[in-house]
Amino acid sequence: MTELFLAEGPALQRRVARIVGQEDSADVMQEGFLRLWSRAADRLALHPAYLAQCLRNASIDWLRRERRQQALRRDILPEQMACPPVEAPQAVIATDELRRLNAAIRAMPQQQRLVFLLNRRHGCTYREIAKATGLSDSTVEREIARALRACHGALD
């Protein structure tokens, strides 16, 4: 794949630049090569025409994504983009709630805290947590339920 990129890269980049523009062509090239690399699990020898088609498709996908984002930006009013101002009492309440939540998380047993943070902070699924920690799915579920009860208790 490296040899193919070195041999065909400059010509393909010019081709991609004609579709998406010079300033975005490197990003599209990288995205296209990443797609191709992830799909070529068996790392078979790739033909330059296949690579060119993959990069053309990545360019078209990029253009479609850009058009959707531009349409969204065009339809959003400036006041919708701005965050509402936070008033002093709200800021004090939010800071106090955050402090109590952090204290509740620090007070959790180590296993419960680990499971909770893997799920809530890092977005891991129960099954992923169970596999990574060696716990059963039901134990992970139980620990997260206990952690959530502790967090709700800290806020009441």
pLDDT digits (tens, 9 = 90+) for 113-141: 999 999 998 888 999 999 999 999 999 99
Question: Which has the closest alpha carbon to 118: 147, 152, 149?
Answer: 147
User: What DSSP string describes 61-78?
Assistant: HHHHHHHHHHHHHHHS-H
pLDDT at 18 over 70: yes
Q: Is the pTM of this model over 0.85?
A: no
| Residue 7, φ and ψ in degrees, nearest 5 | -75, -40
Give the Cα separation of 61 and 59 in Å (integer): 5
What tens digit of pLDDT does each residue of 57-97 get? 888 888 998 888 888 878 777 777 777 777 888 889 999 99
